[in-house]
Amino acid sequence: MRNPRPSPLLRWCLLPMCAGCALTVAAQDTAPDNGLHHLLGLDTLSDDDWTRHFRIGALVALNAHANFSMNGNFNISGNNLAAGNFDDGYIRQDSTGNAGGYSSYWGYNNNSQYNAASGNLTLHSASSFSGQSDTSASDSFSAGFELAYGDSYWNWNGAKIGWEFGFGILPISITDRSPMSVGLTQNTYTFPTYGFTATPTPYQGSYDGTGGALISTNGTLTSSTNTTGHLTGTRTLDTTLYTFRLGPNVYWDLNDSLGLYVGGGPAVGFAMSTLSYNESISYGGSTALNSGSVDSTSIVYGGYVNATLVYHAPEKADLYIGVQYMPLSDVTVEGNNRRAKLDLGGEIYISAGVNWPF
């Protein structure tokens, strides 16, 4: 007598059980050999251990350093002749809209600019300057924040071995205030005045024409000469640095209250930078203003080593303080015959905050 064939329903019920047994056997057959781990003294951590950690805190970079250089010819942005602005005076639009080509809204700085015999006023405007400079500046510290997450898989002589990923944001601002001598191209303009009596300078006319003399808005370029000047002001490199790091990590419990993380590995960064300048050039009793900026984005790369000391607080959270050395490639911003280079090759970072093991 033949055995009855299992029903289709029974076969479908047994199929998942058979598949599960097959996968279990396959997983056992293909499981990695832990002999190497035992040979190295590594034991797999149990699921009951707190292997993971997450921390957040403040980040401070010490002794950021930058080089600033400029070489060539530079236009001067501060003077706007179309708006009637000069280095030692102005002729602007008055309440009449400069009717008939005259304005009451004008002024000048020095007595030597006005010739009483001819009734003419002389105004000056520096159109460009040339110079060469190579200086450096530093910032004592820059403050930002950091995040870190890691996990541990093995135990080695009481130490937990795993990995850690870190992310940081650090704004860095370095300003150079070095003065320099420059060569200037100076344009001289002459304007006739009407009904003006010389007064102690500086003279400032009225916008609405009340009690003020008139000046022609149509001047004559009488000369263009080369002279020397003294440049002062600031050149500032502002960089926001985003860093990413990933590498092996080792943790020891030093005692019941203290623990120590040590790690290292590769690091990369993304830098968004602006080189801005705000300068004044003094020459012959006049002052020309010059300002502008250059933007740049760049990728930097390098490595890191760090050590973090944690204090086990009662509320299942650790307080930590850490030190990190992260040398990265330089950040360079160039444009308008100017160059700034942020040196990230020797940065030391100090961090502090809260760490959660779980």
HEC string for the chain: CCCCCCCHHHHHHHHHHHHHHHHHHHHHHHCCCCHHHHHCCCEECCCCCCCCEEEEEEEEEEEEEEEEEEEEEEECCCCCHHHCEECCEEECCCCCCCHHHEECCEEECCHHHEECCCCEEEEEEEEEEEEEEEEEEEEEEEEEEEEEEEEEEEEECCEEEEEEEEEEEEEEEEEECCCEEEEEEEEEEEEEEECCCCCCCCEECCCCCCCCCEEECCCEEEEEEEEEEEEEEEEEEEEEEEEEEEEEEEEEECCCCEEEEEEEEEEEEEEEEEEEEEEEEEECCEEEEEEEEEEEEEEEEEEEEEEEEEEECCCCCEEEEEEEECCECCEEEEECCEEEEEECCCCEEEEEEEEEEC
Mean pLDDT value of segment 179-198: 94
Q: What is the pLDDT of residue 48?
A: 57
Q: Can you tell me the distance from the alpha carbon of 293 to that of 273, in angstroms, rounded to the nearest whole number?
A: 10
Sign of CA dihedral 205, 211, 213, 216: positive
Q: Can you tell me the distance from the alpha carbon of 213 to that of 209, in angstroms, rounded to the nearest whole number?
A: 8
- The pTM of this model reads 0.80
> What dihedral do alpha carbons 32, 34, 40, 45 form, nearest 10°?
100
Band the pLDDT of 3: cuts 50, 70, 90.
Answer: very low
Q: Can you tell me the distance from the alpha carbon of 129 to that of 124, in angstroms, rounded to the nearest whole number?
A: 14
Q: What is the pLDDT of residue 164?
A: 97
Mean pLDDT value of segment 189-214: 88
Domain that holds residue 202: 40-357
Average pLDDT, the chain: 87
| Chain-centre distance for alpha carbon 61 | 13
Classify residue 27: in a domain, yes or no. no
Q: What is the pLDDT of residue 144?
A: 96
Band the pLDDT of 107: cuts 50, 70, 90.
Answer: very high
Q: Which residues lie below 8 Å from residue 309, measured CB to CB, with a gap of 6+?
A: 258, 259, 260, 320, 321, 322
Classify residue 312: in a domain, yes or no. yes
Classify residue 219: in a domain, yes or no. yes
pLDDT in tens, 204-233: 999 987 767 999 999 999 999 999 999 999
- Report whether pLDDT(34) > 70: no
Classify residue 1: in a domain, yes or no. no
**Which segment of 12-26, 44-58, 233-247 scores lowest on mean pLDDT?**
12-26
Question: Which of 257, 332, 264 has the alpha carbon at shortest distance from 300?
Answer: 332
Q: What is the pLDDT of residue 117?
A: 92
Of all residues in the chain, the percent with pLDDT exceeding 70 is: 86
- Report whether pLDDT(128) > 90: yes
Classify residue 35: in a domain, yes or no. no
Question: Which of 344, 342, 290 has the alpha carbon at shortest distance from 68?
Answer: 342
**Alpha-carbon distances, residue 20 vs 9, 15, 30 (angstroms):** 18, 9, 15
Question: How many domains are contained in the chain?
Answer: 1
- Lookup result for tokens 């034991």: 43
Q: What is the pLDDT of residue 346?
A: 85
- Report whether pLDDT(140) > 90: no
Band the pLDDT of 110: cuts 50, 70, 90.
Answer: very high
Asked if 334 and 341 touch (Cβ cutoff 8 Å), the reply is no
pLDDT in tens, 51-76: 899 999 999 998 889 999 999 999 99
The more confident residue out of 1 and 63 is 63
Band the pLDDT of 19: cuts 50, 70, 90.
Answer: very low
Classify residue 18: in a domain, yes or no. no
Classify residue 11: in a domain, yes or no. no
Asked if 240 and 280 touch (Cβ cutoff 8 Å), the reply is no
Classify residue 8: in a domain, yes or no. no
Q: Beta-carbon neighbour count of residue 81 at 10 Å? A: 14
Band the pLDDT of 285: cuts 50, 70, 90.
Answer: confident
- Report whether pLDDT(29) > 60: no
Question: Which of 225, 202, 203, 220 has the alpha carbon at shortest distance from 212?
Answer: 203
Band the pLDDT of 81: cuts 50, 70, 90.
Answer: confident
